[in-house]
Structure 1
Amino acid sequence: MGVRLRELRTTCPGGRLTGSELTACLGWTQPKTSKLENGRRTATLEDLGLWPVATGHPVTYDELQSATMAGTVRVAPSVAAARGRSTERAER
């Protein structure tokens, strides 16, 4: 999921957004944005609703939500290993 979120940020129709610009636009902290992009934090449905709009890709919300609900979202392997879990997330 993080790779897709980063891709949306870097391919904005109006020009590439930096992480700091996106963070300011969303009113989030820099660590939250970074953790979402690096798979160290699970995006909420609210996060997934805001990210596509802020990056100029509003039609991708359904894609992101579907990936989350289908359980195809993965945790970064280093985080999963540290927690003693599989990298595969269970269906919600």
Structure 2
Amino acid sequence: MLYEIALAKNDKRLPVYVRNNTYQYPDETRALNNFFYNLSIAEAAEISYLFAKKNFDRKNSAHYKLLYKIHQLTNRLAQNKELKKEFRKTFPEENITRYPDK
């Protein structure tokens, strides 16, 4: 989710995903909403990276594909090269740049 928020902030489309009119929401929901609005693109991308790295499953090709995209967003190009090599060995029939949801 934070990866999507980083992309939305980068494309200046955050209100499409996170409402900015939350006066009728409970305090907890408004606090979370404000947290998303106050995150920088770099912060959202970095949190996404840390979460994806910690929960990475080497048997799941979607995890590789998402981490590959997060590496691009966070400018971890050297790590992306290694990830791509490992992906090719593990899933030789798939393409890392094609994400299953898109």
TM-score, structure 2 as length reference: 0.31
CA radius of gyration, larger in? 2
Q: Report which of the two has the higher share of helix.
A: 2
TM-score, structure 1 as length reference: 0.33
